[in-house]
Amino acid sequence: MKNIVTCIVFLCMGVFNYAQESYKENIKDSIPSEEQLEEVLVTSASREIQKRSEVPGSIATINAQTIKETKAFGIDQLVNQVPGVFMSTSRAASNEQHFMAVRSPISTKALFLYLEDGLQIRPTSVFNHNALLEMNDLSYSRIEVLKGPASSIYGSEAIGGSFNFITKTPSENLSGSIGFQTNDLGLTRYDFEISDQPGEKFGFYLGGQYAQRENGPIEHSNYEKTAITFKTVYDINATSKWTTVLDIVDYRSDMTGSLSEADYSEGNYESDQTFTEREAIAFRARTTLDKFWSDRNKTSFNFIVRSNQMDQNPSYRIRQFRNQGQLIGFGTGEVNSNQFRSFVGLIQHKLDINFANSSLIIGATADYSPQDYQAETIDVLVDPETGRNTGFNMNTGDFILNYEANIFNYAGYFQYEISPIDAFKVTAALRYDGFEYDYNNLADGIVGVDDALDNFNNLTPKLGINYNFDRSSGIYANYSQGFTPPQVSTLYRNRNELRGIEPSRYNNYEIGGYFASSSKIKIDAALYLLEGENTLITLRDEDDNFFNTNAGSTRSYGIEYGIAYSPIKEISITHNGSYAMHRYVEFFDGGVDFSDTDRETAPNLLGTSLITYRKDLNKNLGVSLTAEHELVGEYNTSFEGQIENEDGTTETATYNGHNVFNLRANVSYRGFEVWGHALNIFDELYAARASFNRFRGENSFTIGNPIAFHFGARYNF
């Protein structure tokens, strides 16, 4: 696999070095400068350059300055600065593996789209909640987060929101960097960048990193990752631009699993796992031709190839056998492998109409992704005294699943914008999606469901309005729909044959506003209501096995807000937060009615506050200092009444939430940068995620990092 990827990379580099990037003469004035980045968005709502005031939705940008100052060694340190976003990553244990919550509980569900330059990094129906580990965070110049369903342009799974990572463009002159980072969480990372525009028409960017983790705070949490991004841009002529991006990620990680309530409380971070792991290799190639037919007509032609393989011996599939509550030394688990290839074509045309400042975007896309999936059982050896899983034996040929599935997603969409007056804009959009799953069971008559050809389709509309009082304040409202087809592995996993997994549909209603007073204060706020039908949830059965089911109907509603205040030039104070409720409207499980109850792992309160001081002491020397507070409120970890007390009463298991404080300091001198992070400075015991283990009758915890110190240095040339 690696040899094939390497050959493809060198072949593509040879071809694409012939040509690539920019149409400067006609679009030079439309490209935002660094000073304008907070006010201008690229692709987050329409794959076209738009001002924030023209987007009828809740949207946030993490710009180049924020990325430079944060010096993040995890994507969560960046996206958690967006109101209402909580990327739950245990840097102490999870090795870039994560959960996500945006207008939804903390979960692993397919409720988010992860995009690179406006294009999906994975096909629909092959979602992986850890997909961000397949990306190279060094290569991004900015991140755009659009909350709520955005299906009219991007496609399905954008329910809670879409995360669009914009890759860096080639620099005009030869430049680059060499960096090193380390911390006492066991992480060591090396990275490099080089960029140039050797000719008037051609430019390139190359960035790579190697990270490894050994001997972290919790046992069995090592990992290694290599990620490389190569981008070329070529100005074919004054009206044509050719852009190509290649990504390779090679990743391997231990899977430590969660901790029991006793181990979590007592600080016993000896993992129950000794052999569970995840390996992934991902290759993506994207080439885009932008053709400007006139100053009012532009067409983008996109072609994408993906090749991805993920092999696992997952900790979450291990089940230990007990006799009257006592471990007997044996258990079960599984080893699985998921491979897919993708061939994607997307064409989009934008027409600016000489009537009421209106424009029309039309597009069509086709994604053909053959997938292979195998899962075989293993026998697990358990130490009855410690509860540790010490080894396993493969049951080769004892399949849980063994199938091929050809996945075909085709879609067409349009978006029309009109401004009858300068201050007022109306946006209307409609998308049609069709999905075809051609499922071939390779273990017919042994396990799994019969061969099947399943089809799903959906129309998703969006309607929004903007009214701007002036250049720095305005309001908006929108209605949008979202649609999530079943994941292939979920739909055909044998125990779901009788459960009949259905697609999930969502209706989103939202109003919001934005206000800025010169450079002193900025406020952004949104009220939303998200109603779900057939929401997919994961439960444990009485044998401690996970299974998926539809939850009837759900409702999430709340407020998201961001406030930024700069009393003087050198100081900025920001607070980004949300208050939300997440409820089951109609849900029955095991004959018990859980309707009108709070959903589990769904905190009401989320917030991030920062105070930053930045100062250029002279033209060569600059410093910045940041104090950060992360708030996660209390939440249920179980359904109502799942814990039974000795007196026969029942109660709901909960997690009390947490407050974590971090400090960051950066010093730059000429081309050198040095920085340090003090993480969790009060050494708070907290969980990145807590969930209820129905089998054990208690909470399980994925621990957050203890007090830790992170150091980094970089030379820029």
Give mean pLDDT, residues 141-164: 85
pLDDT value for 31: 37
620: left (phi over 0), alpha (psi -120 to 50) or beta: alpha
Give mean pLDDT, residues 379-392: 93
Give mean pLDDT, residues 471-484: 92
| pLDDT tens readout for residues 423-445 | 999 999 999 999 999 999 999 88
Please state, in angstroms and rounded to a whole number, the distance separating the CA atoms of residues 623 and 675: 10
Banded pLDDT at 497 (limits 50, 70, 90): very low
Contact predicate 394/447, CB 8 Å:
no
* Cα 99 to the center of its chain, rounded Å: 9
Give mean pLDDT, residues 380-409: 94
7 or 596, higher pLDDT: 596
- CA angle, corner 209, sides to 205 and 213, nearest 5? 170
Banded pLDDT at 154 (limits 50, 70, 90): confident
Give mean pLDDT, residues 466-488: 91
| pLDDT tens readout for residues 9-18 | 333 333 333 3
Q: DSSP string covering 420-448, please?
A: EETTEEEEEEEEEEEEEEEEEETTTTTSS
Pick the most confident of 67-81, 311-325, 367-381, 682-696. Answer: 367-381
Domains within the chain, CATH numbers bracketed: 2-716 (2.40.170.20)
pLDDT value for 110: 85
Contact predicate 172/194, CB 8 Å:
no
Query: Does the pLDDT value for residue 8 go beyond 60?
Result: no
Query: Does the pLDDT value for residue 341 go beyond 90?
Result: yes
Please state, in angstroms and rounded to a whole number, the distance separating the CA atoms of residues 235 and 243: 9
Give the pairing of strands 259-260 and 698-703.
antiparallel
Banded pLDDT at 91 (limits 50, 70, 90): low
Contact predicate 51/44, CB 8 Å:
no
pLDDT value for 544: 61
Query: How far separated are the first and last CA of the chain, in Å rounded?
Result: 35
pLDDT value for 708: 93
pLDDT value for 543: 62
pLDDT value for 34: 35
581 or 594, higher pLDDT: 581
Average pLDDT, the chain: 87
Helix, coil or strand: residue 278: strand
- Cα 185 to Cα 80, 188, 217, 428, 510: the distances in Å are 20, 9, 6, 48, 41
Lookup: tokens for 628:
């950060």
Give mean pLDDT, residues 526-535: 93
Lowest mean per-residue pLDDT among 260-264, 369-373, 387-391, 475-479: 260-264
Query: Does the pLDDT value for residue 669 go beyond 50?
Result: yes
Give mean pLDDT, residues 223-230: 97
- Cα 164 to Cα 59, 97, 183, 349: the distances in Å are 11, 19, 28, 20
Query: Does the pLDDT value for residue 41 go beyond 80?
Result: no
pLDDT value for 552: 83
Query: Which H/E stretch holds residue 24?
Result: helix 24-27
- CA angle, corner 90, sides to 89 and 92, nearest 5? 150
Lowest mean per-residue pLDDT among 454-468, 487-501, 588-602: 487-501
